[in-house]
Amino acid sequence: METDIILETRNLTKAFGALVAVDNVSIKVRKHSLHAIIGPNGAGKTTFFNLLSGNLEPTSGQVLFKGRDITRQPVHRTIHCGIGRSFQITNIFPNLTVFENIRLAAQATGRDNFRFWRPASHFKQYEARTWEVIEKVGLKERTFVPARTLPHGDQRKLELGMILAPDPELLLLDEPTAGMAAEQVPELIALIREIQSSGNKTVMLVEHNMNVVMSVSDTITVMHQGRVLAEGTPADIAANEEVQTAYLGGLYKLNA
């Protein structure tokens, strides 16, 4: 039985001219797991996410979400089938307020998008949801300032908030802690873990911090030059000779 597989890719490939950024990747992601994708810079992790979220069209291969083929689905459909995606490079609405950034995310999956004769503030359900999310990611102190004025760490929280608002089943988080001050990282990771376990969600996480990856992941896929180099539990990966030489460079040892 494969009903506990929420996302599957089959021979997924993306070539930019001669460069094959994602090369024949077939993986399965178990429901309610935290599945990390790691690999050196340029390994193709972000490109892989872009294929999953519909931001890029694959050269070949398939993406199946809950058994359904979503390979060439337009990008605006992604969230409606239950996949939320955050970006490595902060991707927000800089001149809108923090509140409006999240409110827009909450409104998107509702049915009121074309009610142009009513003020947006009339639709209380989205505002209520926005407050919930703001509370959760800890942006309560800076709700009504333009998003561009937030410090970087808070922009990362906002980025996360924007995908939590519509409450997707699968979260694709591309280096959510990128550029964050080291002391803020554990807090955010704890939050992600909490969302994943208490909300019964599946999380796919790209992350460079090995300590974080080793401690929170259920499954790790190691990518290298577009291909899957290894896959397994944190313990498997830490013990894998090939991974050690190709990527971890012997720097990371389990229990080190």
Partner 1 sequence: MTPSAPSFVQQHRIALISLLALILLPFIVGVFEGASPLEVWSNRSGASKFIQGLAIEIFILALYALSYDLIFGFTGLLSFGHSMFFAVGAYLTGIALKSFGLNLWQTFGLLMVAAVAQALLFGIVLPRVKGITFALVTLGMSSVFHIVIMSRELGDYTGADVGLQGVIVPDFISPATERLRLYFVALTILVLFYLLYRRFVDSPTGRVCKAIRENEGRAQMLGYNTFLFKLAALILSSITAAIAGALHTIYQPIVSPDISGLGFTVTALLIILIGGVGTLNGALVGAAIFRLLDFGLRRYLGESASFINGAIYVLIVLFLPYGIVGTWQLKASLTFQQMRQGWRHLLELFGLDRVRHVSKE
Ligand X SMILES: Nc1ncnc2c1ncn2[C@@H]1O[C@H](COP(=O)(O)OP(=O)(O)OP(=O)(O)O)[C@@H](O)[C@H]1O
Q: Does 46 bind Mg ion (CB under 5 A)?
A: yes
Query: Using the rule CB under 5 A, which residue among 13, 33, 59, 88 binds Mg ion?
Result: 88
Under the rule (CB under 6 A), what is the footprint of ligand X? 16, 19, 21, 39, 41-47, 88
What spatial distance separates the first Cα and last Cα of the chain, rounded to whole Å? 38
Which of partner 1, Mg ion, ligand X, none sits in contact with 118, Cβ below 5 to 8 A by type? Answer: partner 1
CB of 57 to partner 1, least distance (A): 7
Distance between CA atoms of residues 10 and 88, nearest Å = 24
Using the minimum distance from each CB to partner 1, give the nearer residue, 119 or 250.
119
Using the minimum distance from each CB to Mg ion, give the nearer residue, 52 or 98.
52
Sign of the CA dihedral 224, 226, 227, 233? Answer: positive
Sign of the CA dihedral 145, 147, 153, 156? Answer: positive
- Find how far residue 99's CA is from the centre of its chain: 21
CB of 129 to ligand X, least distance (A): 31
Q: How many CB atoms lie within 10 A of CB 3?
A: 8
Using the minimum distance from each CB to ligand X, give the nearer residue, 115 or 152.
152
CB of 50 to ligand X, least distance (A): 7
CB of 175 to partner 1, least distance (A): 14
Distance between CA atoms of residues 61 and 23, nearest Å = 10
Say if CB 159 and CB 92 are below 8 A apart: yes
| Residues found near Mg ion in the complex (CB under 5 A) | 45-46, 88
